[in-house]
Amino acid sequence: MTDRTTTAATTRNYVPYSDDLEQIGPREEEQIENVVATLRKNNEWAFKKHNHAIRDAHAKSHGVLRGELVTSADLPEHLRQGLFAAPATYPVIARLSSTAGAIRSDNVRGVRAMAIKVLGVTGTRLLPEDHGTSQDFLLVNSPSFPSADIRHYRRSMPLAWLLARTPDSAMNVVSAVLRGASKMPGPVRIPVPTVLSLFARPNTHVLGEIYYTAAPLRFGKYIAQIRVAPLSDGAKALTGQLVPSGTGDNVHRDTVVDFFRTNTASYAVQAQLCTDLRTMPIENAKVAWPQNESPFQTVATLNFPLQNAYSPARSAYADDVLAFNPWNGITAHKPLGSINRLKIKTYQASSDFRHKMNKVEFSEPINISELPD
């Protein structure tokens, strides 16, 4: 993929990374513990409902993919950072999912996600007790997060608690009402909370989406957000392709399986470097960084071959054994900002509960052969 913006981007002034960029609030640790306790109640409720522990976010998977991440050669200095510093090929496990903390019909609209686990990554680990060799990137099909920071996230939790317990039929009604509200003329348009507005978005093919980290991370010497965008013709053809309503509760899984039975797919992995902390803040994840100020630049290619994208053994491994966490990785890609700091304990607590209640031992893969066919 030729990136026409790269040459112009080399002349930009990129904000250098430093440890003092983050602004941690005086009560942040207390607020994080409060969120962890609340999410634990959600975990317990879901376990009683399903007699099986699920993730409190990204509960339902739509596909589990084996692939390769190929870092680009001849990158300019500002892009040769972290695991992208030198040309290399890494095995990858990717999990496609919906972000809801409930198992829903795929006809219910919402945010879709791609979690990427890159294997065989060397470098100083983020967490001192971590001796692994993988790097996780967690992405959603939105360039920003619904909450600005931990305080705003806590305020939205009662609504999220209610939505998790709302039946699918009622959620479809909510989506229809929200779509109608979004089409009203500006002067009479009804304000809709960001969390709710996510259920008004079109229900499109998960393999045609663009996925974003939706919060900043360290990019070696700099700061960036990462996205994954369709690159091959087959993947691009799926962009914006609507999923017909009434086509089954697992239509996303079925379309992913059908696609990879006869097709391969490639995606461009791209970095958007921070050029201005005023318009590209660290501590406000609700702000989408403007691409006219700093365009995304390609740093790698993500390739997925023909495969069975959702065998029983593979889905059980990804859903019950694996854990994905943005803090599973190297210091060169440290997650930044309030929302990312929240994820250290919330993701770990969810994983611990899930593995304990399901009596499944957690295992961080070292070799791609550990992913079942």
**What tens digit of pLDDT does each residue of 208-218 get?**
999 999 999 99
- pLDDT tens digits, one per residue of 16-25: 999 999 999 9
- Is pLDDT of 4 > 70? no
What proportion of the chain, given as a percentage, has pLDDT over 70?
89
Degrees to nearest 5, angle at CA 351 with 350 and 357: 90
Question: What is the torsion angle, in degrees rounded to the nearest 10, for the CA atoms of residue 85, residue 88, residue 93 and residue 96?
Answer: 60
Supply the mean pLDDT for the chain: 90
pLDDT exceeds 60 at position 47: yes
**Mean pLDDT for the stretch of residues 358-369:** 96
Question: Is it the case that residue 361 has pLDDT exceeding 70?
Answer: yes
Spatial separation of the C-alpha atoms in residues 280 and 144, rounded to whole Å? 11
| pTM of this prediction exceeds 0.85 | yes
The number of helix segments (H) and strand segments (E) in the chain equals 9, 9
Q: Which of 314, 296, 289 lies closest to 373, judged by CA?
A: 314
Q: Indicate whether 264 pLDDT > 70.
A: yes
Highest mean pLDDT (candidates 69-78, 96-105, 241-250)? 69-78
Query: What whole-number distance in Å separates Cα of residue 58 and Cα of residue 104?
Result: 11
Tokens read off for 299: 């740093």
The helix/strand/coil state of 264 is coil
User: Which residue has better confidence, 109 or 144?
Assistant: 144
pLDDT at 347 over 70: yes
Is the pLDDT at 6 greater than 80? The verdict is no
Higher pLDDT, 100 or 308: 308
Question: What pLDDT score does 162 carry?
Answer: 78
Which pLDDT score is estimated for 359? 97
Confidence of residue 156 (pLDDT cuts 50, 70, 90): confident
Tokens 């479809």 -> residue: 172
Please tell me the distance from the alpha carbon of residue 209 to that of residue 113, in angstroms, as a whole number: 9
Count the Cβ atoms, other than its own, within 10 Å of residue 372: 16
> In this structure, is the dihedral angle defined by the CA atoms of residues 115, 117, 122 and 127, taken in order, positive or negative?
positive
Share of the chain above pLDDT 90, in %: 79
Furthest CA-CA distance within the chain: 57
Across 49-53, 158-162, 242-246, the highest mean pLDDT is recorded for 49-53
Residue that the structure tokens 């009560």 belong to: 27
Query: Would you place residue 9 in the very low, low, confident or very high pLDDT band (cuts 50, 70, 90)?
Result: very low
Q: Where are the alpha helices (DSSP H) in 145-197?
A: 150-164, 168-182, 194-197
Tokens of 158: 């009662």
Q: Please tell me the predicted confidence (pLDDT) of residue 1.
A: 44
| CB contact set of 72 (below 8 Å; sequence gap of 6+) | 79, 84, 87, 298, 299, 300, 301
- CA 253-258-264 angle, to 5 degrees, is 110
Average pLDDT over residues 193-213: 81
Check whether 184 has a pLDDT greater than 50. no
Q: How confident is the model at residue 164 (pLDDT cuts 50, 70, 90)?
A: confident
Per-residue confidence at 161, pLDDT binned at 50, 70, 90? confident
What's the burial of 244, exposed, middle or buried (CB within 10 Å: 0-12/13-18/19+)? exposed
Name the token pair of 286: 């609700």
Report, as an integer, the average pLDDT of 189-212: 73
CA distance 190 to 74: 50
| Of 111 and 166, more confident | 111
